[in-house]
Amino acid sequence: MRIPVAPWSHLRLRDCIKPGVRILLVGINPGVRSAITGHHFAGYSNRFWKLLYESGLVPEPITYLDDRRLPEWGFGVTNLIARPSPGIDSLGRDEYLDGWKTLAGKVRRYRPEFLALVGVTLYRAVLPLLDPEGSRGRARSRPFGVQPYVVHNARIFVLPNPSGRNANYTYAEMLAAYRDLNAILR
């Protein structure tokens, strides 16, 4: 029996990164709508763009259609895993490892001050790669903010996942984390 291939499964998002980036925002992988539209954080219920504006990280309201403008404000955006999926359940361990190697190369090339991991799940997935010995402890239950890890001189900052599927945190909690990132940049 042949498993049907989704018509969007071959699509890949283009990174929005330029030299001089201060913060490289990293998602786990694109959702289906992002893959289809060709824009980051494009899900109907995704609050990413609203959080960027309301936290003061960007000076004007923008949407997923404006993702190419992020470098204007010192941001870049990419994903750990390039393959789109409707959720993260189908992502394999080897995809995380390969994605990490690719991401490390981007950090080395663009030299951001911060690597902002968008989602606690993403942080927990890469934590064994950041701290293979577990010497600095496991992820806190709400590990938002600066973490005790550095990747090619970029400090790790964890943001909550703004997806509408994320019912773990209130909008106020998410906004507080994005505001904390803004405060560090000032």
Give the number of domains in the chain.
1
pTM of the predicted model as reported, rounded to 2 decimal places: 0.90
**CATH number for the domain harbouring residue 177:** 3.40.470.10
Question: Is 138 inside a domain boundary?
Answer: no
Question: Is 52 inside a domain boundary?
Answer: yes
Question: Is 180 inside a domain boundary?
Answer: yes
Question: Is 18 inside a domain boundary?
Answer: no
Q: How is residue 67 written in tokens?
A: 């993702």
Tell me the helices (H) and strands (E) count for the chain, helix number first. Answer: 5, 5
Question: Is 174 inside a domain boundary?
Answer: yes
Domain extent at residue 68: 32-124+145-185
Average pLDDT value over all residues in the chain:
89
Question: Is 97 inside a domain boundary?
Answer: yes
Torsion angle of the four alpha carbons 139, 71, 165, 174, in this order, in degrees rounded to the nearest 10: 60
Q: Which residues pair with 150 in a beta bridge?
A: 155
CA distance 124 to 143: 9
138 pLDDT above the threshold of 70: no
Q: How does pLDDT run across 9-29, given as a tens digit for each residue? A: 777 899 999 999 999 999 988
pLDDT top residue among 51 and 143: 51
CA distance 20 to 92: 32
Q: How does pLDDT run across 92-110, given as a tens digit for each residue? A: 788 888 999 999 999 999 9
38 torsion bin: left (phi>0), alpha (psi -120 to 50), beta (else): left
Q: In what order do the strands lie in the sheet with 145-151?
A: 75-79, 23-27, 114-118, 154-159, 145-151
Question: Is 37 inside a domain boundary?
Answer: yes
pLDDT range class, residue 140, cuts 50, 70, 90: low
CA distance 17 to 25: 10
Q: How is residue 151 written in tokens?
A: 């990747």
Question: Is 20 inside a domain boundary?
Answer: no
